[in-house]
């Protein structure tokens, strides 16, 4: 893996397969883009030479070692080129050509042959159907993008994009807005190198400070989750997802599987792994710009410096929507600020100096310096409106932030730029000085919120606890039988409500008398997966007569029907379940339960195994989470017991691969504990 991606981003010698002298061709564009590469580029072409450089008719004819083959040939010629690369032992190839799996079955078969040829010789493939790769520090522009961003010795953003044209658009925006890039990687069809491998590589890349993912799909989802979790512990990962898969429900008998839409599980896995979602490619790059240029925020308190009260209020409102606070400053700090600003200004926060043009160059740096050193804010955002975008103000801001860093102060400073287009050179100068700025409060607030969410994931490691020993699953066990399923769950540490399965009314009446009234009776039959839908559950049975009548009715629902008898419990109804996702593997679900679980859809997913801390976060994220702490005088539920059930379900799914679905619904949660009163297990 590392060898292949090292060859992609740090080649010493490149072969350009399909190089051309003809204008307006891919071969010529690639040749021109590779001119800045400090190593040797060898053209492979039908021509004897390209741009005066000797060319070779076949990749196999190129003398010496080649680290990277860049292939810009028609699709039907790519296989031969990759076969030659395999024979020659080239460690990596970037295939820009289209006409593979993205066009249908015939293209998919060709892609499979290309991948097979590559693997026969240890060639790692980028693409096909991609716009290429860039290493902005080398520099290397092995892409069809017209020019690459300038690298930054301090490091920068690495962009991984699946979409070709959209990726180029995002890339162009980054160049226009002076974003510090490290690497650009266009994955295309992702025929070989997975998203997990790319993340693992960029995690160890010292030039990559922030990773941006523009994805349509995720290859090797479980591997991606594992690598993303490890990566977000040390550097920010932001994702913008396009082409959302259909949220069609799985054909399944359990509530958990019915609610487990592809997007729901994917989104939950992203959140659990610490990957922060952005609403668009633009929002993703905005946040990355802040994170790459400034220290990460350590809290949500924002100090605003402005010359416009209206913009200060708007930015405050937008920050509030991002869970960022604009706190009123202490009297002492206000007094210090008031000594600088006009008497008709405001030091409460936002700090409004008013449109006092003649003093902008002095006030902006001084106010930012005081706020950053105050200990009362975690982020400082100056709103630079109209004449505040002057060269003098920019120079002052650059100087004060440089001084803050020299003194060890790590409060990030983000510029909110609200000036005419003619002042853009000043914005560029500010960003070149390491102070990122974005136009208008809306983009600024959204980026600050995303930056804080990314910072919150850094250093967060899941506990590496020992999983509970999985119960044995004998071949004779029938988990469709509630009694055998109950024993199996008990062996996994999941204790369900006491119950008896009965074959006739006399047995049901005896069982109800033993358990005590009121009693609950439920129909038991393989065809009745959702018993309530057919009247298969009878509640509040107060005496022997009621039990016998209910048992008789339920036994008549189907031939071979039996009845399960329990004492009626009480509590808030939750659902805890699990499903085996084809991509992410074992997944746990928690939510508000009962018969309306699929209607309410108030559920949350997580990749198993999970720990109690994350389960509590899942429960707290439910729309109905207030029920956990008691509602209308009710006592709080036993949160520890509820979390423990979900942890046990996750461990069971991980430990017993034969189990494909688990439903504990409802789980009655009270101050005394959490008890599943209905359960279903599906095996493969």
Give pLDDT tens digits for 41-90.
Answer: 999 999 999 999 999 999 999 999 999 999 999 999 999 999 999 999 99
Decide if 267 is inside a domain.
yes
Q: Are residues 256 and 331 in the same domain?
A: no
Which residues are paired to 522 by β-bridges? 537, 564
pLDDT at 254: 53
Domain CATH code at residue 121: 3.40.50.720
Q: Are residues 556 and 628 in the same domain?
A: no
pTM of the model: 0.91
pLDDT at 193: 96
Q: Are residues 443 and 503 in the same domain?
A: no
- Average pLDDT taken over every residue of the chain: 92
Decide if 504 is inside a domain.
yes
Decide if 227 is inside a domain.
yes
Q: What is the spatial distance between Cα 31 and Cα 18, in angstroms, rounded to a whole number?
A: 9
Report the SS3 class of residue 680.
strand
Domain boundary residue, one of 293, 319, 340? 293
Q: Are residues 617 and 630 in the same domain?
A: yes
Decide if 380 is inside a domain.
yes
Q: Are residues 286 and 319 in the same domain?
A: no
Q: What is the spatial distance between Cα 180 and Cα 182, in angstroms, rounded to a whole number?
A: 7
Domain CATH code at residue 446: 3.40.50.261
pLDDT at 250: 42
Structure tokens, 71 = 């292939």
Q: Are residues 578 and 555 in the same domain?
A: no
Sign of CA dihedral 541, 545, 551, 554: negative
Q: Are residues 538 and 428 in the same domain?
A: no
Decide if 128 is inside a domain.
yes
Decide if 485 is inside a domain.
no
CA angle centred on 19, ends 13 and 23, rounded to 5°:
135
Q: Which 3-state string (H, E, C) describes 99-154?
A: CCHHHCHHHHHHHHHHHHHHHHCCCEEECCCCCEEEECCCCEEEECCCCCCCCCCC
Q: Are residues 286 and 299 in the same domain?
A: no
Structure tokens, 505 = 């009314």
Domain CATH code at residue 503: 3.30.1490.20
Residue 172's nearest CA partner among 150, 153, 146 is 146
Residue 89's nearest CA partner among 118, 110, 112, 61 is 118
Q: What is the spatial distance between Cα 423 and Cα 420, in angstroms, rounded to a whole number?
A: 6
What number of CA atoms fall less than 13 Å from residue 347's CA on the CB side? Answer: 20
Q: Are residues 158 and 283 in the same domain?
A: yes
> What pairing do the DSSP bridges indicate for beta strands 673-676 and 659-670?
antiparallel
Question: 124 near 178, Cβ under 8 Å?
Answer: no
Decide if 307 is inside a domain.
yes
pLDDT at 252: 43
Give pLDDT tens digits for 91-103.
Answer: 999 999 999 999 9
Contacts with 191 (C-beta within 8 Å, 6 or more apart), sequence order: 100, 101, 111, 114, 115, 125, 127, 128
Structure tokens, 97 = 């050509």
Tally the domains of the chain. 5
Question: Order of strands across the sheet with 415-418?
Answer: 351-352, 302-306, 379-385, 415-418, 437-439
Which segments of the chain have a pLDDT < 70? 1-3, 148-151, 243-261, 461-463
| Phi, psi at 56, each rounded to 5° | -120, 140
CA angle centred on 155, ends 126 and 368, rounded to 5°:
140
Q: Are residues 309 and 262 in the same domain?
A: no
DSSP type of residue 612: H
H or E element in which residue 515 lies: helix 505-515
Domain CATH code at residue 585: 3.30.470.20
Q: Are residues 615 and 514 in the same domain?
A: no
Domain that holds residue 389: 294-457
104 torsion bin: left (phi>0), alpha (psi -120 to 50), beta (else)? left
DSSP type of residue 56: B
Domain boundary residue, one of 239, 263, 293? 293
Q: Are residues 95 and 55 in the same domain?
A: yes
Please provide the distance, in angstroms rounded to a whole number, between the alpha carbons at the two ends of the chain: 34
pLDDT at 459: 77
Structure tokens, 278 = 């952005």
Decide if 143 is inside a domain.
no
């Amino acid at each position: 893996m590392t060898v292949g991606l090292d060859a992609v981003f740090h080649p010493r010698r490149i072969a350009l397969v399909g190089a051309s002298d003809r204008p307006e061709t891919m071969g010529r564009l690639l040749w021109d883009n590779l001119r800045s590469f400090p190593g040797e580029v060898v053209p492979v072409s039908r021509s004897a030479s390209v741009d005066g450089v000797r060319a070779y008719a076949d990749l196999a004819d190129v003398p010496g070692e080649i680290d990277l083959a860049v292939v810009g040939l028609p699709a039907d010629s790519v296989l031969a080129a990759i076969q030659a690369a395999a024979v020659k032992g080239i460690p990596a190839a970037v295939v820009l050509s289209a006409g593979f799996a993205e066009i249908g079955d015939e293209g998919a078969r060709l892609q499979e042959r290309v991948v097979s040829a590559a693997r026969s010789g240890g060639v790692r493939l980028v693409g096909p159907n991609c716009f290429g790769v860039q290493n902005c520090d080398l520099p290397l522009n092995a892409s069809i993008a017209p020019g690459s961003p300038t690298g930054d010795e301090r490091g920068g953003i690495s962009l991984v994009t699946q979409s070709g044209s959209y990726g180029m658009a995002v890339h162009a925006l980054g160049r226009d807005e002076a974003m510090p890039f490290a690497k650009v990687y266009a994955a295309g069809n992702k025929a070989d190198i997975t998203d997990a491998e790319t993340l693992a590589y960029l995690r160890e890349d010292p030039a990559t400070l922030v990773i941006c993912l523009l994805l349509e799909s995720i290859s090797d989802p479980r591997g991606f989750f594992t690598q993303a979790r490890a990566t977000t512990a040390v550097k920010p990962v932001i994702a913008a997802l396009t082409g959302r898969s259909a949220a069609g429900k799985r054909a399944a008998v359990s509530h958990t599987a019915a609610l487990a839409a592809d997007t729901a599980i994917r989104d939950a896995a992203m959140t659990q792994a610490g990957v922060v979602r952005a609403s668009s490619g633009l929002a993703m790059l905005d946040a990355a710009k802040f994170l790459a240029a400034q220290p990460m925020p350590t809290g949500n308190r924002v100090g605003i410096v402005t010359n416009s009260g209206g913009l200060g209020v708007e930015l405050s409102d937008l920050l509030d929507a991002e869970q960022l606070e604009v706190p009123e400053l202490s009297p002492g700090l206000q007094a210090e600020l008031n000594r600088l600003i006009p008497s008709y200004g405001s030091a409460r926060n936002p700090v409004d100096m008013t449109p006092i043009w003649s003093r902008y160059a002095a006030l902006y740096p001084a106010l930012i310096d005081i706020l950053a050193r105050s200990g009362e804010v975690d982020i400082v955002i100056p709103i630079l409106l109209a004449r505040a975008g002057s060269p003098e103000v920019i120079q002052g801001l650059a100087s004060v932030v440089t001084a803050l860093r020299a003194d060890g102060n790590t409060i990030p400073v983000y510029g909110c730029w609200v000036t005419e287009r003619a002042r853009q050179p000043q914005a560029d100068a500010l960003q070149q000085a390491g102070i990122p700025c974005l136009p208008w409060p809306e983009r600024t607030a959204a980026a600050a919120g995303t930056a804080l969410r990314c910072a919150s994931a850094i250093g967060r490691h899941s506990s590496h606890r020992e999983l509970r020993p999985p119960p044995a699953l004998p071949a004779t066990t029938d988990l469709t039988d509630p009694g055998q399923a109950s024993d199996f769950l008990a062996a996994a540490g999941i204790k369900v409500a006491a119950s008896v399965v009965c074959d006739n009314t006399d047995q049901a009446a005896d069982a109800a008398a033993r358990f005590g009234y009121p009693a609950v009776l439920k129909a038991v039959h393989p065809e009745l997966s959702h018993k309530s839908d057919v009247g298969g559950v009878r509640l509040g049975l107060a005496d022997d007569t009621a039990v016998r009548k209910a048992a008789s009715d339920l036994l008549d629902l189907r031939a071979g029907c039996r009845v399960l008898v329990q004492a009626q419990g009480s509590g808030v109804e939750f659902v805890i379940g699990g499903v085996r996702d084809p991509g992410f593997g074992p997944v746990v679900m928690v939510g508000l339960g009962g018969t309306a679980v699929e209607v309410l859809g108030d559920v949350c997913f997580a990749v198993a195994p999970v720990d109690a801390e994350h389960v509590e976060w899942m429960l707290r994220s439910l729309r109905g989470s207030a029920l956990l702490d008691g509602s209308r005088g009710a006592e709080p539920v036993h949160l520890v017991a509820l979390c423990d059930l979900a942890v046990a379900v996750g461990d069971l799914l991980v430990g017993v691969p034969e189990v494909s679905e688990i439903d504990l619904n409802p789980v009655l949660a009270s101050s005394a504990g959490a008890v599943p009163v209905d359960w279903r297990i599906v095996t493969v």
